[in-house]
Amino acid sequence: MEKRGLIFDMDGVILDSEIRYFEVHQQMFNTLSIPLDPVQYATFMGKTGDEMWEELVTEHQLQETASALLEEEHRLFQIHAKPEECGLKEGVKQVIEQAVALGYDIGIASSSSLQKIERVIRHYELPITHYVSGEEVVRSKPDPAIFRLAASRIGHAPENCLVIEDAANGMIGAKAAGMEVIALLDDRMPMQRLEQADHVARSHAEIEEIL
């Protein structure tokens, strides 16, 4: 493949964290008496937490504010979804090593905070020096801005970049930026819409075959 920029989403692609977030949200939804619709939940993945809670507060006319729910979410994540305890997705280090050997320039485009991205890179000793957080753009995924900025940081035009995403919002943003998209599936999570995916992989081993 001639693409020479490779951009990873972080949660659910590098870090095996989405399943833990899902379990925390199941707990919070139950406490708030909100039905957890898998189809709707899939639309939240890849977005920032405040966007999800603002939508749910309005839809269900909750007494709690979105900011208060976001604060509680962060508190529970620190208990149940610490990055150091989530572990990496199986095979991701091998994909990174192969990509480096093939001459790809690698970056991360994540809706997570800069502090968390740097924490993950440092703890797992990932050979990645270029990354973009949703904090750095006016609108995060599915807006394409985060991907365009990531392409700039790894020194490639968007059309020369390949993106690995697990969430439809990320796939939409990457395609809108003019990039090629690999969808990474996870049978433990609500199914994502795949219209924007150029390739579909069920594991990082399958991604190795695509590169």
| Cα–Cα dist 95/161, whole Å | 16
pLDDT digits 0-9 by tens, 154-201: 999 999 999 999 999 999 999 999 999 999 999 999 889 899 999 999
pLDDT digits 0-9 by tens, 98-120: 999 999 999 999 999 999 999 99
Q: How confident is the model at residue 3 (pLDDT cuts 50, 70, 90)?
A: low
Assessment of whether the complete model's pTM goes beyond 0.85: yes
Is a pLDDT exceeding 80 seen at residue 57? yes
Count Cβ atoms below 10 Å from residue 122 Cβ, excluding itself: 11
Torsion of CA 12, 43, 199, 143, to 10 degrees: -90
Chain-centre distance for alpha carbon 180: 16
pLDDT of residue 48: 84
Is a pLDDT exceeding 60 seen at residue 69? yes
- At residue 131, φ and ψ (nearest 5 deg) are -155, 160
What three-state secondary structure class fits 132? strand
pLDDT digits 0-9 by tens, 27-53: 999 999 999 999 999 999 988 888 999
pLDDT of residue 1: 55
Question: Please, are residues 120 and 10 in contact by the beta-carbon 8 Å criterion?
Answer: yes
Please report where in the chains the tokens 């693409």 appear, as a residue.
3
Please report where in the chains the tokens 């995403």 appear, as a residue.
165
pLDDT of residue 120: 98
Closest C-alpha among 103, 154, 131 to residue 1? 103
- The contacts found for 131-135 with CB under 8 angstroms, 24 or more apart, are 131/107, 132/107, 132/108, 134/48, 134/110
Tally the residues of the chain.
211
Kind plus residue range of the DSSP H or E element containing 149: helix 145-153
Encoded amino acid at 103, one letter: G
pLDDT of residue 197: 96
Is a pLDDT exceeding 60 seen at residue 20? yes
Closest C-alpha among 178, 194, 190, 203 to residue 5? 178
Tell me the mean pLDDT in the region 1-13: 89
The CA R_g of the chain, rounded to the nearest whole Å, is 17
Percentage, residues of the chain above pLDDT 90: 93
